[in-house]
Structure formats: structure tokens, C-alpha cells
Amino acid sequence: SQKIEQNSEALNIQEGKTATLTCNYTNYSPAYLQWYRQDPGRGPVFLLLIRENEKEKRKERLKVTFDTTLKQSLFHITASQPADSATYLCAADQTGANNLFFGTGTRLTVIP
Amino acid sequence: KAGVTQTPRYLIKTRGQQVTLSCSPISGHRSVSWYQQTPGQGLQFLFEYFSETQRNKGNFPGRFSGRQFSNSRSEMNVSTLELGDSALYLCASSFNRGNTGELFFGEGSRLTVL
């Protein structure tokens, strides 16, 4: 069955470093991937969308890559700050279902 | 522009009861989707409505149902509540049908079943 996996449940990183989060998908080829940020007790907030024909997308300190050979998306936050601490969710379209489905998220903590 | 509004934010019910949750999408958005979020399972898709019609449905039992009104507001209902229904229920709206673009989420309704 189609699957989206975020391998790291939690990631701790020193302030100023680059945080890299991984999203893998199996048993299908999504047309696009999305990344969301979720703070405790809040709803997810959209960050970036990348399509299968795009290798890389950037927005300020954020960068997303999409590698269809490795079946993987990487999400990078450069010059990380404590305010970047949150859970980051990867989501992909589901073939034939016209809906998004989500990974379980990676909780990022940026240590001052 | 007002965001997605969900009510109530918190509620406590007992097993066997039923609950109705409400979602008002962003003005002009015609698609409303519902998700259940639990610590173990993450976000699980429940269903999506577009122009008052259910277009997609996730793998949840028939106790979970929803509807959408002509003003795009949506409600979801869970009948015969079970302990495992305790979760954060999130509503998301988008302009187009389906979840093929950016979703705008509400803050969620936190349901506790005792």
C-alpha cells in the first residue's frame, strides 16, 4: 500500500546549524509533496509544495528537494533558530484518491 | 481574511455518546476536509466535501459522518463514541476540489472520550 514515512520522530540541533528532515514514500509515485509546520495545540501551517518535475524549491531559509529515484524529499532549514522548534509534517497526494495523506511528523528542537 | 474556524475547541464526552463538530472555511473556499490526529497514527484523512457533496472518504467506520452546507460550512458527527476516538479533529479548507494544493487548517477540536 502507498506509504509516507518520516523516519525521525525527533531531531535536536544547535542554533545556527542546518536542520535536515527526511520524508520517504513507498509503493507509488506522488505528483507532489507538501511540507507543513505544526506547533503544539495548533493546526498545521503550509510551508512549501514541490512537484515531481521540480528538483528543488526555496523559500527564505527553507529548502525542499524531491528525488524521484530515491523516492525521497528532504526539508532543510538553514541558520536554524529556537523559533523553528516545531513538528514538521510531510504530505503527498494519494494516487486515485484525490486527497493528501501525511507522515507522522518530525519534532524539531533547536537548542540555543 | 478570517482563517478556518473550528468549534468547539475542546470537549469531553463519555462512551456511547455522539458529538458534532463544526468548521467554517475561509471565505471563497469550497472544499473542506477533515482529519483525525492522534499521537500514534498522525493525521488520518476522514473525508472531503466540495460543493455539498462528499468527494473522498478515508478508511473510517460508518460512525464517522459529515456534511457540507450551501455556504461551505461543514460539520462532522461521530456517533456511539469509543475511547479510541479521543483525538484532535482538524478541518482544512482549500479553494479547489480535493487536496491538490495548499490546505488551510483550523486550530482543531480536541475531543476526549471518557
Q: Is A99 exposed, middle or buried (0-12, 13-18, 19+ CB in 10 A)?
A: buried
Yes or no, beta carbons of B102 and A104 under 8 Å apart? no
Contact (CB<8Å) B106/A43: yes
For residue A99, give the nearest of B41, B98, B105 by CB distance: B98
Q: Cite the beta strand spans of chain A per DSSP E.
A: 3-5, 10-14, 19-26, 32-38, 45-51, 56-59, 62-67, 72-77, 86-93, 100-102, 106-111
Between CA A91 and CA A36 the distance in angstroms is 8
Q: What is the pLDDT of residue A106?
A: 95
Specify the pLDDT at position B98: 55
pLDDT (mean) for A31-50: 94
Q: Around Cβ A69, how many Cβ atoms within 10 Å? A: 5
Q: For position A9, what pLDDT does the model report?
A: 87
The model's pLDDT over A59-105, given as tens digits with 9 standing for 90+, comes to: 999 999 999 999 999 999 999 999 999 999 999 987 666 678 899 99
Q: Residue range A18-41: average pLDDT?
A: 92
| Residues of B in Cβ contact (< 8 Å) with A46 | 102-104
SS3 content of chain B, % helix, strand, coil (to 5): 5, 55, 45
Confidence of residue B95 (pLDDT cuts 50, 70, 90): confident
Whether A2 contacts chain B with CB within 8 A: no
CB pairs under 8 A between A and B: 60
- Taking the C-alpha atoms of residue A85 and residue A67, their distance in angstroms, rounded to an integer, is 26
Q: Find the mean pLDDT for residues A40-67.
A: 94
On the question of pLDDT at B100 being above 70, the answer is no
Q: Could you say which of B58, B100, B107 has the minimum Cβ distance to residue A42? A: B107
Check A98 against B55: CB less than 8 A apart. yes
**Averaged pLDDT, A15-41:** 92
State the average pLDDT over residues A25-36: 88
Separation between Cα atoms, residue B31 and residue B111, nearest integer Å? 23
Mean pLDDT, rounded, for B91-107: 82
Categorize the per-residue pLDDT at B53 as very low, low, confident or very high, splitting at 50, 70 and 90. very high
Cβ–Cβ of A42/B108 closer than 8 Å?
yes
- Which grid cell sits at B93? 479548507
Looking at the complex, does the CB of residue B111 fall below 8 Å from at least one CB of chain A?
A: no
pLDDT in the model for residue B97: 64
CB contact under 8 A, A93 and B48: no
Residue B94 has pLDDT above 60, yes or no: yes
Average pLDDT over residues A13-35: 92
Distance from CA of B48 to the nearest CA of A (A): 8
Check whether the bond before A40 is cis (ω within 30° of 0): no
